[in-house]
Structure 1
Amino acid sequence: MNIEGFLFSAVEASVKYPDRLDLGLIFSDEPCVTAGVFTTNQVKAAPVVIDIERLKEGRAQAILVNSGCANACTGEEGEKNALAISACLAETLGIPDEMVQLASTGVIGEQLDVAAFEKNITRLVKGLSSDNFDKVAEAIMTTDTRPKVACDTVKIGGRDVRIMGMAKGAGMIMPNMATMLAFVVTDAQISFPELHKSLLFGVERTFNRITVDGDTSTNDMVLVMANGRADNPWIDGDSPDDQLVFQDALETVLKDLALQIVADGEGATKTITVRVCGAKEDEEAETIARTVATSSLVKTAFFGEDANWGRIMAAVGRAGVRFYPERVDLAFGDVLIVKNGQFLGSEAEKAASEILKEKSFSICIDLKDGTGCEEVYTCDFSVDYVKINADYRS
């Protein structure tokens, strides 16, 4: 699916390694309403600092992204380098410098090779095409094993509104976004407050509900650019129904990308939905779900295909939420293994172990103490996770 007015390009610039796409560009032929959500880490990479300041106007026209170097913890020189490549791109595109958003991912603490950018910017711009969306998704990969893209189309005011998104991420995932980048383009005609509101809502329910290893990073961002080409009735404060339709469609795309990140977690072999229901409040359900989803003991049991319900119960018990253990039901998929806090026996455990052999399954925990219900998405911990992260910088 293409979206009129948006062009994409990716080249090999050898930012860190040769023989791979590592420099990408997303460009709109006109300024877009643009919203962003950024890392909550106190240590913010140079591009994040620059983007936050530039997005105060809620407008952008280009996103320049590189893999291979995070440009984080690089001081004044790192910010100077980021501004230099931004200026180079803006001049080549013939747009104002402040219309450029920057994104970087890779190793922390290394300075950008500005010459590698300057040498390849012209070639990058010349390669702009509506058909290169997947190539940019490939260029932003680090330890990812595959590109991650998603799309959706909805009707608003009788007009087709299209949304396309890409993401990267495989490790350092959790608690609020993580080592991930996501870029979304849409032809929706929407005001900045409604776009920003929709993005915040969607991120909270998707990227903020995934965990691979409980870490978070310095470069995380999600950007959404809307060029208005769909010519739908304006989505603004006077059109709450249309805003909800768009918000739901955006969340669909973000959730698709978020689940792809979990499925591609470093060394992961399984994708797991941890669902907690029957809590007093949604917030309490989320707290318990996160505690279970981030437990190393639980995640290693998933890898070993061991229906170790005791580890899950222990995680629930240390989440800091008051509940009644004697009421809890616990199921692996559709197999109930604990009822009212009591183990249902070896046959139930055997059936639950079969569920764990699947590539994707759910863990359902019912506290039977209220109406609060939330989900968190996680993956297993494998031997390969340690291997990948033991020598990542090499």
Structure 2
Amino acid sequence: MTVNLPLPQKNDLKPVKGFEMGIAQAGIKKANRKDLLVMTLAPGSQVAGVFTLNRFCAAPVQVCREHLAQDGRNGEIRALVVNTGNANAGTGETGMKHALETCAALAKDLNLNPEQVLPFSTGVILEPLPIEKIVSALPAAVANLGEDHWFDAAEAIMTTDTQPKAASVVVQTSAGPVTITGICKGAGMIHPNMATMLGFIASDVGFAPGLLTSLTREVADQSFNAITIDGDTSTNDSFIIMATGQSSVQIASVTDPNYGVVKDALLGLARKLAQMIVRDGEGATKFMTIEVIGGKTQEECRLVAKAVSHSPLVKTAFFASDPNLGRILAAIGYAGIDDLDVNRVQMWLGDVWVAKDGGRNPSYQEADGQRVMKESEITVKIDLGRGNATQTMWTCDLSHDYVSINADYRS
């Protein structure tokens, strides 16, 4: 079940010049399914990434960080490899060895240095990576490389996702058109920093050295770090932006007139992908936007948005379509703003003004709240009455099916 999430159409996913994908069936967890993805980049491409803050981060995350830090010393990043069905997390030194072996094997097939390869894994934690299956299937993935395999690539990285997640945009700049296409996976164990998810976006833009790194962090904070499903920060979360430099658009600095155009396009696509994860949240029946305004700082707005969107009591009330909205006020109160003046707080549920000056709006009728709560997409707007900062997060409800899906996950 998804919440207003149409299936991506293959013809809508635009090829990115200088970027190819190859898919294979390695039989990592189940036979006869796409579970191995190889991505390659043209020489001169740039790659930047943001990763989980979980201290128990998976071996491939550690290797990715190391290889990105070495980018340029042993040649730029030229390939990525993703396996599903096994997270290679909680696997100790053996897991690190397997992640490095994966890089070495793909590098050999592509005539690269191992440090030019980034590995990614997703699936069950605390189980050994079946390295032999992966290495054996890599040549098939390489032989399958092509620019138009975005839909198959999105399928190849799925775990508990009910459908592939992918999107494209072509944006016009003063220097010519830019193509941006991305895929992601995730439906459970979703919580900011990062919000299990993997996300990959490719573009044909060219960036000056170092510019893509800061841009990727900014885009992540306003998209994949602004979603939550169940409050569990995964061991494997990774978000990667790749720029092949194959278009006529070459950006030298943030003052470049086209920088803002490209940034907005990347952010728009990243938000669309991130919201796809929430719309496909395990057992989700409602998609909720938590908009916090009137904060002194963006950080305190983020604290409130996070508290509300993470609260199991709030999420279960939304599943039941029960306007038990005092749960939201309680979450605002414990969010961590020590000097919050609750008498200045206002709250709206959709178009209904529910809380006024810290208490129930005298004109509020529960029937109005009930009407909004029955909708599949709901916006909660909270005004802290303290300043001009804002923050928006996206979440879903918590249903009986969420428990069932996670109880059966390993079977």
Q: TM-score range by the shorter chain?
A: over 0.9
Indicate yes or no: 2:322 matched with 1:309: no
| Paired amino acid for 2:22 | S
SS in 2 for 1:60: coil
Indicate yes or no: 2:307 matched with 1:294: no
Indicate yes or no: 2:287 matched with 1:271: yes
Given the alignment, which residue of 193, 197, 207 partners 1:176?
193
> Is the contact between residue 235 and residue 242 of structure 1 (CA under 8 Å) also seen in structure 2?
yes
| Paired amino acid for 1:26 | M
Q: Where in structure 1 do 4 or more consecutive aligned residues deviate above 4 Å?
A: none
Q: Distance in 1 between matches of 2:207 and 2:197?
A: 25
Given the alignment, which residue of 124, 130, 133 partners 1:113?
130
Displacement of 1:325 in angstroms is 2.2
SS in 1 for 2:214: helix
1:51 corresponding residue in structure 2: 64
Structure 1 stretches lacking a partner, 5+ long = none
How does 1:10-29 map onto structure 2 within 5 Å?
10-29=23-42
**Structure 1 vs Structure 2 CA RMSD:** 1.6
After superposition, give the CA deviation of every residue in 1:31-55 in whole Å (9 maximum; x if it has no partner).
4211111111111211111111111
Displacement of 1:29 in angstroms is 3.6
Structure 2 stretches lacking a partner, 5+ long = 1-13
1:392 corresponding residue in structure 2: 409
Given the alignment, which residue of 362, 366, 372 partners 2:379?
362
After superposition, give the CA deviation of every residue in 1:289-313 in whole Å (9 maximum; x if it has no partner).
1111111000000100111111111
SS in 1 for 2:45: strand
> Is the contact between residue 102 and residue 119 of structure 2 (CA under 8 Å) also seen in structure 1?
no
1:353 corresponding residue in structure 2: 370
Q: Distance in 2 between matches of 1:316 and 1:301?
A: 16
Identity %: 42
Given the alignment, which residue of 248, 264, 267 partners 1:231?
248
> Is the contact between residue 193 and residue 236 of structure 1 (CA under 8 Å) also seen in structure 2?
no
2:79 corresponding residue in structure 1: 62
SS in 1 for 2:100: helix
Displacement of 1:369 in angstroms is 2.5
Displacement of 1:197 in angstroms is 1.2
1:374 corresponding residue in structure 2: 391
Displacement of 1:104 in angstroms is 0.2
Between the two proteins, the alignment pairs up a number of residues equal to 393
SS in 2 for 1:192: coil
Q: TM-score, normalised by structure 1?
A: 0.96
Q: Distance in 1 between matches of 2:165 and 2:394?
A: 16
Indicate yes or no: 2:16 matched with 1:3: yes
Q: Distance in 2 between matches of 1:282 and 1:7?
A: 38
After superposition, give the CA deviation of every residue in 1:82-112 in whole Å (9 maximum; x if it has no partner).
2222211111122222211100000111111
How does 1:163-242 map onto structure 2 within 5 Å?
163-232=180-249, 234-237=250-253, 239-242=255-258
| Paired amino acid for 1:48 | V
| Paired amino acid for 1:297 | L
After superposition, give the CA deviation of every residue in 1:308-346 in whole Å (9 maximum; x if it has no partner).
111111111111213222232211111112222332469
Q: Distance in 1 between matches of 2:130 and 2:384?
A: 54
> Is the contact between residue 336 and residue 348 of structure 1 (CA under 8 Å) also seen in structure 2?
no
Moved more, 171-180 or 381-390: 171-180
Q: Distance in 1 between matches of 2:252 and 2:318?
A: 45
Displacement of 1:282 in angstroms is 1.9
Displacement of 1:285 in angstroms is 1.3
Indicate yes or no: 2:167 matched with 1:150: yes
Q: Distance in 1 between matches of 2:49 and 2:345?
A: 40
Q: Distance in 2 between matches of 1:359 and 1:152?
A: 26
Given the alignment, which residue of 126, 140, 163 partners 1:123?
140
Q: Distance in 2 between matches of 1:306 and 1:238?
A: 47
SS in 1 for 2:386: coil
SS in 2 for 1:4: coil
2:155 corresponding residue in structure 1: 138
Moved more, 27-36 or 95-104: 27-36
Displacement of 1:379 in angstroms is 0.6
1:324 corresponding residue in structure 2: 341
Displacement of 1:247 in angstroms is 1.6
Q: Distance in 2 between matches of 1:56 and 1:39?
A: 16
2:9 corresponding residue in structure 1: none
Moved more, 96-105 or 146-155: 146-155
Indicate yes or no: 2:108 matched with 1:91: yes
Displacement of 1:274 in angstroms is 0.6
SS in 2 for 1:273: strand
SS in 2 for 1:376: strand
| Paired amino acid for 1:320 | G
| Paired amino acid for 1:365 | I
SS in 2 for 1:68: strand
Q: TM-score, normalised by structure 2?
A: 0.92
> Is the contact between residue 198 and residue 250 of structure 1 (CA under 8 Å) also seen in structure 2?
no
1:254 corresponding residue in structure 2: 270
Displacement of 1:347 in angstroms is 6.1
> Is the contact between residue 194 and residue 243 of structure 1 (CA under 8 Å) also seen in structure 2?
no
Q: Distance in 2 between matches of 1:352 and 1:192?
A: 51
Displacement of 1:182 in angstroms is 0.6
Q: Distance in 2 between matches of 1:344 and 1:237?
A: 49
Moved more, 338-347 or 40-49: 338-347
Given the alignment, which residue of 34, 40, 45 partners 1:32?
45
SS in 1 for 2:232: coil
SS in 1 for 2:251: coil
